[in-house]
């Protein structure tokens, strides 16, 4: 029971103190589960993150479920999912109650304009960390660049990018055994 509470508490803390959604939470989740608690190895975390991104649903919750399951099975995944969701749910309820009356106030508008650059930074940090952990280098940097251009500027669905990457990975492993030539 103590393990489940520890999982819930860790993910509740992450959920309570992160602005910007799932991508902004990634670096905090990684720090907590890989570095602080050592529940997951760095390589496992990158794999879980890739799987979480390819799965339907919110990235942070999917990642939490994978970490919880690896750490403590189904009850662990429930604890981490609830820990991740609970703070957002409570904050959204509180905001909904109070925000309706003040949403057009100049101070509130300025606060949200000020938060936007911070959220971009919170999303950028895990991107850099993921690139390092995924061993993106000078030879492979073209892959995320092409994927970004296709999704951001040419409106290609990320699903097609994921499928193409999976197929390319299968071909690469079958043809070269995963070793660079």
Q: If you write DSSP's letter for every residue of 16-47 in order, what string do you get?
A: HT--SSHHHHHHHHHIIIIIIS--S-HHHHHH
- Residue 44's pLDDT is 92
- Residue 92's pLDDT is 84
Domain map of the chain by residue range?
A: 2-115
**The model's pTM:** 0.61
- Residue 178's pLDDT is 59
Print pLDDT tens along the chain (181 aa). 899 999 999 999 998 887 767 777 888 899 999 999 999 999 899 899 889 988 888 888 999 999 999 999 999 999 999 999 999 899 889 888 887 888 889 998 999 899 888 888 878 877 887 777 778 888 888 988 999 999 999 999 988 998 998 898 889 888 877 555 4
93 token code pair: 């309820």
- CA distances to 15, 37, 50, 69 from 73, rounded to whole Å, are 21, 17, 20, 4
SS3 28: helix
Angle between helices 42-54 and 22-30 in degrees, nearest 10: 160
41 token code pair: 């190895």
Torsion 165-170-172-178 (CA) sign: positive
Tokens 């100049």, located at residue: 106
- Residue 116's pLDDT is 87
């Amino acid at each position: 029971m103590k393990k489940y509470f520890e999982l819930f508490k860790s993910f509740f803390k992450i959920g309570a103190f992160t602005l910007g959604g799932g991508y902004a939470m990634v670096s905090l989740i990684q720090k907590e589960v890989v570095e602080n608690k050592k529940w997951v190895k760095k390589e496992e975390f990158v794999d879980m993150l890739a799987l979480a991104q390819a799965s339907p649903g919110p990235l942070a919750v999917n990642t939490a479920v994978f970490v919880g399951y690896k750490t403590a099975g189904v009850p662990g995944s429930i604890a981490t999912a609830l820990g991740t969701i609970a703070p957002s749910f409570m904050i959204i309820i509180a905001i909904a109650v109070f925000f309706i009356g003040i949403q057009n106030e100049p101070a509130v508008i300025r606060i949200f304009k000020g938060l936007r650059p911070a959220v971009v930074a919170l999303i950028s940090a895990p991107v850099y960390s993921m690139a390092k952990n995924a061993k993106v280098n000078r030879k492979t940097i073209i892959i995320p660049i092409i994927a970004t251009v296709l999704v951001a500027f040419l409106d290609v669905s990320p699903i097609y990018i994921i499928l193409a990457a999976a197929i390319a990975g299968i071909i690469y492993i079958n043809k070269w055994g995963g070793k660079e030539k």
